Structure 1
Amino acid sequence: MPRPRPATFDKKKIVAENRRARFEYFIEDVYEAGLALTGTEVKSLRFGEGSIAESYAEVRDEQVWLVNANIPEFSHGNRHNHVPKRPRKLLLHAREIGKLHGAVAREGMTLVPLSIYFNGRGRAKVELALAKGKKAHDKRETIKERDWKREQQRLLRDRG
């Protein structure tokens, strides 16, 4: 019997966050994936450097890859430094990879990284979302809801 997953992931230190993802996509499922990194990439992430703003994930050859994520070179890395925008392998269970591959192939979903963080054990993890793109009218609805909630908070603060 599989071990029950926690509702939220154990995020100790968030390094990079994709804040536009929740505006651009409807988030269906969220997965936690490990990152296969080199030594200088880990050091660069521990210094808080890194960006996943334009990145995405894709399933190739029964593996999931994080594409276009920028982890800048480590300042003290000399000639053993890494390439900043290389594709990085994401570590997931085979069953999860199968689910992701099926959803992307059949249903037209997209794999979007939401954040890169270090968990309680000091491992670099990616919060990966299975998402569906929003149309322009959906984005306008999201903006209206956000503005209305902000106005509600303002009204409650002034009255209370």
Structure 2
Amino acid sequence: MAKSKKFEKIINIKNKKASFQFEFIDTYTCGMVLKGTEIKSIRESKISLTEAFCVFLRGELYVRQMHIAPYSMAANYNHAAIRDRKLLLSKKELEKLETKSQEKGLSIIPVRIFINDRGLAKMEIALGRGKKLHDKRHDLKEKDAKRELQRMALD
């Protein structure tokens, strides 16, 4: 029997701006088509999701503007830092997302990247609607109120 690999380092890279700028309606977990040097860079946490967004091309879902830094140990066979990367979802989920993303004001945003217990890189994407300025202010007030309650509880 083969021994199962345990990954000691937990990789969980979040897009913090996404929750502030968008109201999430639905979330999905999907796989990604990556090259060898890309997964090695992800395991070193050298990835940025701040400007990334998802788009449909020929009926398939791709993530654009996701920056994965080139792997430092690779010599000739390194990957391009910014390129379109295919996301893996079932046909049913793809059809549902495509119809909903064509509605006005809805977009698909990458929320976080993590490595599951089998060692595969997964991306969590969300169908979201952009927040208005007053929505953002309301969220900040709630956040401050929670912080104050935690301070009072500690005292």
Q: Is TM > 0.5 for Structure 1 vs Structure 2?
A: yes
Q: Deviations over 1:2-46 (max 9, x none)?
A: xxxxxxxxxx83342101111111111110010100011111111
Paired residue for 2:131? 134
Offset at 1:107?
A: 4.4
1:35 is matched with 32
- Superposed CA deviations along residues 57-88 of structure 1, whole A, max 9, x for unmatched, are 11121100010000011111111110000110
**TM-score, normalised to structure 1's length?**
0.88
Could you say which residue in structure 2 is the equivalent of 1:3?
none
Distance 1:91 1:152 in 2: 42
Q: Is the 8 A contact 1:15 1:46 kept in 2?
A: no
1:24 match: 21
For residue 4 of structure 1, what is the aligned residue in structure 2?
none
Equivalent runs, 1:38-49 vs 2, <5 Å: 38-49=35-46
**Distance in 2 (alpha carbons) for counterparts of 1:133 and 1:14:** 27
2:69 to 51, 67, 72: 72
Q: Which letter does structure 2 place at the counterpart of 1:44?
A: S
- 3-state DSSP class of the match of 2:102? helix
Distance in 2, Cα, partners of 1:108 & 1:68: 20
Give the count of matched residue pairs: 147
Using the aligned pairs only, state the percent identity: 39
Task: Provide the C-alpha distance between the structure 1 equivalents of 2:146 and 2:12, rounded to a whole number of angstroms.
Answer: 28
User: The residue matched to 1:117 in structure 2 has which SS?
Assistant: strand
- Which stretches of structure 1, 4 residues or longer, exceed 6 Å deviation after superposition? none
Match of 2:80 among 74, 80, 83: 83
TM-score (norm 2): 0.90
Residue of structure 1 aligned with 2:107, choices 110, 123, 126: 110
Coordinate RMSD, CA, aligned = 1.2
Kindly indicate whether the alpha-carbon contact (under 8 Å) linking 2:69 and 2:81 is maintained by their aligned counterparts in 1.
yes
Q: Which runs of 5+ in 1 are unaligned?
A: 1-11
Structure 2: unaligned runs, 5 residues or longer: 1-8
- Partner of residue 4, structure 2: none
User: How far apart are residue 106 of structure 1 and its match?
Assistant: 2.1
- Give, in whole Å, the separation in 2 of the partners of 1:13 and 1:56: 24
